């Protein structure tokens, strides 16, 4: 009977030392976990650019938007842009020069060519990859609208990278 207990005790001690845990976290020949997938791409490496407007206030020109490529990767490091604000009169309103307003509108443009260090307005990338805000600090609709008839606003956003730029569209406030 002692031999059986001794054999059991010996088997348990061998199992305990063979299966015991140590503080060494090295991977001894096992599979290596892949690095996390980076879902962002630098603007100058993107072969396509998509703009998703997420906020637009016409009077102040405050914008927020997301940039991504066709593979839905967030685009980072955007610097070069052209942003044009459009002001329109009320569609059914009475204005002093109706013939002119039927064909025309007011515009305010902002652009940045980062290589030449000439930027108008302030483009800021947030901590969330691909999310940007734009401020137009000197946007003044009264310069061309002495009668104060501008009541509708739209914006066109063009973001430029080394390999591509987005398709420009006239976007209404949200």
The predicted pLDDT at position 7 comes to 47
Q: Are strands 74-76 and 40-42 parallel, antiparallel or unpaired?
A: parallel
Question: Domains in the chain, ordered, with CATH?
Answer: 40-171 (2.60.40)
User: Does the predicted TM-score (pTM) go above 0.75?
Assistant: no
| Structure-derived torsion over alpha carbons of residues 56, 59, 62, 66, reported in degrees to the nearest 10 | 20
99 three-class SS: helix
The predicted pLDDT at position 77 comes to 97
Contact 45, 163 (CB under 8 A): yes
The predicted pLDDT at position 131 comes to 98
Task: Mark the ranges of the chain whose per-residue pLDDT is less than 70.
Answer: 1-31, 33-38, 92-104
């Amino acid at each position: 009977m002692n031999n059986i207990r001794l054999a059991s005790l010996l088997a348990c001690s061998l199992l305990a030392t063979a299966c015991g845990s140590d503080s060494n976290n090295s991977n001894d020949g096992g599979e290596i976990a892949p690095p996390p997938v980076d879902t962002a791409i630098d603007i100058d490496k993107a072969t396509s650019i998509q703009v998703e407007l997420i906020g637009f206030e016409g009077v102040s020109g405050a914008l927020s938007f997301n940039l991504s490529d066709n593979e839905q990767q967030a685009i980072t490091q955007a610097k070069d842009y052209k942003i044009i604000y459009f002001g329109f009169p009320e569609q059914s309103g009475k204005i002093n020069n109706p013939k002119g307003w039927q064909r025309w509108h007011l515009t305010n443009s902002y652009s940045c060519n980062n290589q030449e260090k000439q930027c108008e307005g302030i483009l800021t990338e947030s901590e969330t990859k691909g999310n940007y805000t734009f401020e137009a600090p000197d946007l003044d609709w009264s310069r061309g609208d002495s009668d104060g008839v501008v009541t509708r606003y739209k914006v066109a956003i063009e973001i430029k990278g080394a390999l591509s730029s987005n398709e420009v569209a006239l976007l209404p406030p949200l």
